[in-house]
Amino acid sequence: MHLARYAGGMDGGGIYCLLLKLREDIELPVGALGLCSFPRGYYVYTGSALRGLGARIGRHLRPDKKHHWHVDYLLRAARVTEVFVLETGERRECELNLLVMGLPGARVAVDSFGSSDCGCRSHLFHFSLNPEVALEALVL
């Protein structure tokens, strides 16, 4: 199955990738991870919601929110350019994350970012070039 571009809705569960663009190098405090450096470029964050996928994505897209997840801190500075989703009732977030990690140009942005509840090194990857076309081509 291919990831699809998010078009709204989706009450069921699923996995997603946020494609982010950061225009300048920044340092941000990220919860327990402390002060983290983020070079300008593109980022892909992989997440999941076992139900309420649309609500989770909507929360990420809102400008004013409490900082609950690591990505909330980065979203203060980065702009979401696209969201890719796959509706599923299965826990496949880490499987998707491994595929993102294997994309050309991917490098771990911050160790343990978004991955405190799994064995992945990180759920955030930095790209110098826009990985949008490669994300859309991923097959799970």
pLDDT tens, 72-120?
A: 999 999 999 999 999 999 999 999 999 999 999 999 999 999 998 899 9
Asked if pLDDT for residue 20 goes beyond 90, the answer is yes
Rounded CA-CA distance 124/111 in Å is 8
pLDDT of residue 9: 85
pLDDT of residue 1: 80
pLDDT of residue 26: 97
Interacting residues of 63 by C-beta distance below 8 A, sequence separation 6+: none
- The SS3 call for residue 75 is coil
Q: 10 Å Cβ neighbour count for 35?
A: 8
Q: What are phi and psi of 55, to 5 degrees?
A: -65, -40
Rounded CA-CA distance 117/109 in Å is 18
Rounded CA-CA distance 114/116 in Å is 6
62-66: list long-range contacts, CB under 8 Å, 24+ apart. Answer: none
How far is the CA of 51 from the CAs of 1, 57, 132, in angstroms? 19, 11, 25
What is the residue extent of each domain of the chain? 4-136
Rounded CA-CA distance 116/119 in Å is 8
pLDDT of residue 125: 98
Rounded CA-CA distance 47/62 in Å is 16
pLDDT of residue 86: 96
The model's confidence at residue 131, banded by pLDDT at 50, 70 and 90, is: very high
pLDDT digits (tens, 9 = 90+) for 25-68: 999 999 999 999 999 999 999 999 999 999 999 999 998 888 88
Residue with tokens 């950061």: 22
